[in-house]
Amino acid sequence: MVSVIGNQQGPKSMAVEFDQDQLRRRNRTLSVLLELSNLLAAEAELDRLLEQALAMILRHFGLDGGRIYLLSSHRPVLMLQASSGIEVSGLEAMQVSEGFSGLAVRYKTLLVQSVHDLLDPKRRALLVSKGVETVVCVPLILQDRVVGVMNLTSGKGFTPSTTDTDLLIIIGNQIAVAADHARLYRKYQDRIAEIESKRETIKRFAYSISHDLKSPAVAVHGLTRLLKTHYGQLLGEKGRRYCEQIMHGAEQIALLVSQINQYIHAREIPLSLEVVDVPGLLTEIAGEYRHQVEERGLVCTIPEDLPEIVADRLGITRTFRNLIDNALKYGGPNLRHIEIGYETAAEHHVFSVADDGAGLHGETAAKLFAFFKRQSITLDTEGTGMGLAIVREIARKHGGDAWLRSGPEQGVTFYFSIRMDPHPGAAGRDQSDLNPGAAGQDRSACAPTA
């Protein structure tokens, strides 16, 4: 339907209403291209795509049968991918060097031939036995590269018009593009499945190792403690010292198992979002460390204006606990003050845990969030090297990140951000507005003054 838009004084425009049924009635050639385009856009699975396209083409041209071959990526062989209206035994594969199909591929040319013109008597007899009189070979060309060929067959003579040959060439190009996209989509899906399978294998392995390590470690610790308690006098000073070392090693194994499980939980388990009372949470955590803080004469400052947030309570608890524990372990003998900070930046809550203890050099700071990386302030400091990796995973799962600011003489401030409207598993978002620069550099864009 054609209409004119505009008033008598102003400019006029012609509007043509898009109607697929009317388009098909007006132009048969355009209608088949429209139908094919709709089909190719809607179907992503390669075999179904080619089968449906082939059936539509045969119907449009009134032909008896057809086959679509795709070129192997490993050798010069055409492999059958779809067929309709013809029995394909003996036609499953063709060398690029043989037959009409090979000519069409090698010369990138549409061919219309009688089977009686075939030079290979066996192939000629095979096609005649299947009732084929005429073969139309359409190369499937993608950016000047042949990816396959479409063979259309008729049991009688078939002489395409110029319009038909033009249409077949365009159809061949469309199928080539769609087939290439479908192949890429299949590879993409296979790759995703492979990655998911590997992730599941790693996760099962980690859980299995954790369980297999923890049980013997607990048993060794318990038996050694009993040995020391009941037979300590017989063991002597050296024997009791060995018992202490064994128990200490077992405790470290149990701690490592716990940290591995926390890391897996941070990466793999979906967030359980709820309203978290941060002041109340930090009061609970501070109570856990009260004895150690008082014994060392430290001051721990928690601001009064902390908000309630929507987050995974267990994850946020682990994050604060790991950062406070990190300050106590690695602050060194000059540590006197631990301060919790908070501010907002962009669409994120930004929390910080600062201490006035030993600082870090840039190279050391940049590596701390990696798996199994530890600060080397003192040789006798215990840890697994996983605490900060867990912090970063939890922050990223909340749509944020974790970073630090430090210098050799100024202590360390660790930051972590989470989105105010967290989307579970939102890792990978651009955090450049929150933590500009490399670890160890000034992050004053969002960092409170330590």
Instruction: Pick 27-187's CATH classification: 1.20.1440.80, 3.30.450.40, 3.40.50.970, 3.40.50.920.
Output: 3.30.450.40
pLDDT tens-digit profile of 252-272?
787 777 777 777 767 777 888
Q: Which residues contact 53 (CB under 8 A, 6 or more apart)?
A: 36, 39, 40, 68, 82, 175, 178
**What does the pLDDT look like over 381-407, one tens digit per residue?**
455 567 788 899 999 999 999 998 876
Under 8 Å between Cβ of 319 and 325? no
Domain 272-419 CATH superfamily: Histidine kinase-like ATPase, C-terminal domain (3.30.565.10)
215-266 pLDDT, tens per residue? 788 888 899 999 989 888 888 888 989 999 999 888 878 777 777 777 776 7
Give CA–CA dist 205/11, Å, rounded.
72
Helix (H) or strand (E) holding 225: helix 162-268
109-122 average pLDDT score? 88
Model pTM score: 0.50
Question: What is the model's pLDDT at position 450?
Answer: 33
The helix or strand, by DSSP H or E, that contains position 163, with its residue range, turns out to be helix 162-268
CB atoms within 10 A of CB 126: 16
| Structure confidence at residue 20 (pLDDT) | 58
Q: Which of 28-37, 244-253, 296-305 has the highest mean pLDDT?
A: 296-305
The residue type at 97: S
Delimiting residues of CATH 3.30.565.10 domain(s) in the chain: 272-419
User: Which pLDDT belongs to residue 396?
Assistant: 92
Stretch 126-145: mean pLDDT, rounded?
91
Average of pLDDT values for 420-433? 53
Which of the four pLDDT bands, split at 50, 70 and 90, describes residue 449?
A: very low
**What residues does CATH 3.30.450.40 cover in the chain?**
27-187
Burial 167-183, CB ≥16 within 10 A → b, else e? bbeebbbbbbbbbbbbe
DSSP 364-402: HHHHTTSTT----S-TT----S-HHHHHHHHHHHTT--E
pLDDT band with cut points at 50, 70 and 90 for residue 150: very high
Pairing of strands 299-301, 337-345: parallel
